[in-house]
Structure 1
């Protein structure tokens, strides 16, 4: 088995070296598809002989990730975001898979451990946050709804489960989280506006946010994550409100 690691980037100078370093031992090639970064992302990627750096206009997370897969040489894809990296134990598990002569699985999921403002979050609905990130590209591709993409496998394809963590350095500060929510809620609202679904925005704005808070903080044990568990619950509720408020605004301008 040979693996192509695919990574999409835009102004990821803070993260990309860590991500690339983590896949060097397990990937037979590394493909970085960049959305015309204006920082040092390209320079950092170009310092690695193993990296093939490609620029492509960004049309959406799903579209960009599928484009990256199309540039890969090998059938097996290891797809990471630039702010993710393999833990040492996860690298060992992937190396063990590569050493097998036969394998009944054509895809593998792995738990993702999220780092929020310097703290690893083990509750709040953020863990184990299992993701399919290693698969035979003949058996599936990226799908879902922007910006919440996911790998969709062909009918009948079951994924094996890896036990070690994919590390996700998701949010560095509260202001970064708020900025991300503002950006992602805009994308989600536009996606909803362009879909066939026509939910009651006002109803969703009133009832969904408190439900999300209770779910994150109480039902998913966010209180065990301390101050940041409370913060995640509040901002998650805000994100839900903004999604439908922006959707309602799009409708009013139609």
Structure 2
């Protein structure tokens, strides 16, 4: 029977890490937690479970996750963040893979909980992610943020699993706003480093399209006020990213 490793990176995840560990406990054969020296109760909570707890200075999202992969005993992995957990259906789907693994990696839908509400529409759902994969055929890639699992070959085969990754991301609007400011600055710098240019067209059209796609095409209006808020902020993120990139372009 195929054996699985659960891989988690953490930093100050005391509110969510126990849900994450409980969802993995009966699914995988080992759990590797790579923690960036949390200052809350993350470590003590993890120590209650049968995990390998490794403290590692944060290297960057992509680098930290690839380091975590290198610490696993088994090649087939389930990769989660500390604020994520497997739904019951997804747990069953992954357990079935132990006797029926067919692909190099598997897509999973991520289901986001925003300010206490599960978001069923907007561009936030279904948010398709490869999180179950053979580490000999895949790795994390990405520049500074927006890290993704990339399969190493064009001939790689990808399947799809039933069930969701349950993601509890933001507890308040102010927390979300703080992250928007941080991540748009990082994104703008990443675009700048790659030689990308901003323009008035991109600053106007990209945010407009982002709102329309999220609120109308992806039925964000069905999620009530939070659907509207997410759609507005999706547009705002595009606006800030290109506005900040324009500023960087002008300075150079």
Q: TM-score when scaled to structure 1? A: 0.93
2:192 is aligned to 193
Q: What is the CA-CA distance between 1:96 and the residue it aligns to?
A: 1.1
1:222 is aligned to 220
Write the deviation string for residues 146-170 of structure 1: whole angstroms up to 9, x where unpaired.
3211110122111111111111112
Counterpart check, 1:178 vs 2:177: yes
8 Å CA contact retained: 2:11, 2:36:
yes
2:243 is aligned to 245
Counterpart check, 1:125 vs 2:123: yes
8 Å CA contact retained: 1:189, 1:243:
yes
1:94 is aligned to 94
Q: What is the CA-CA distance between 1:249 and the residue it aligns to?
A: 3.0
Q: What is the CA-CA distance between 1:227 and the residue it aligns to?
A: 0.7
Counterpart check, 1:160 vs 2:159: yes
8 Å CA contact retained: 1:76, 1:137:
yes
Q: What is the CA-CA distance between 1:46 and the residue it aligns to?
A: 1.8
User: Which among 230, 233, 238 is matched to residue 231 of structure 2?
Assistant: 233
Q: How many residues align?
A: 250
Q: What is the CA-CA distance between 1:95 and the residue it aligns to?
A: 1.0
Secondary structure of 1:240's counterpart equals helix
Secondary structure of 1:148's counterpart equals coil
8 Å CA contact retained: 1:110, 1:162:
yes
Write the deviation string for residues 58-108 of structure 1: whole angstroms up to 9, x where unpaired.
2321111111101111101110011110011111111111133xx331211
8 Å CA contact retained: 1:125, 1:220:
yes
Q: What is the CA-CA distance between 1:22 and the residue it aligns to?
A: 0.7
Secondary structure of 2:38's counterpart equals coil
Q: What is the CA-CA distance between 1:252 and the residue it aligns to?
A: 4.1
Write the deviation string for residues 42-63 of structure 1: whole angstroms up to 9, x where unpaired.
1211222x21111222232111
Superposition CA RMSD, Å: 1.5
1:4 is aligned to 5
Q: What is the CA-CA distance between 1:253 and the residue it aligns to?
A: 4.2
The whole-number CA distance in structure 2 between the counterparts of 1:158 and 1:201 is 38
Q: What is the CA-CA distance between 1:134 and the residue it aligns to?
A: 0.6
After TM superposition, list the pairs within 5 Å mapping 1:74-89 onto structure 2. 74-89=74-89
Q: TM-score when scaled to structure 2? A: 0.94
The whole-number CA distance in structure 1 between the counterparts of 2:24 and 2:203 is 42
Relative distance call for 1:156 and 1:145 in structure 2 (3 A) is: same
8 Å CA contact retained: 1:114, 1:126:
yes
Secondary structure of 1:162's counterpart equals strand
After TM superposition, list the pairs within 5 Å mapping 1:31-50 onto structure 2. 31-48=32-49, 50=50
The whole-number CA distance in structure 2 between the counterparts of 1:146 and 1:236 is 20
> Which ranges of structure 2 fall in alignment gaps of 5 or more residues?
none
> Which ranges of structure 1 fall in alignment gaps of 5 or more residues?
none
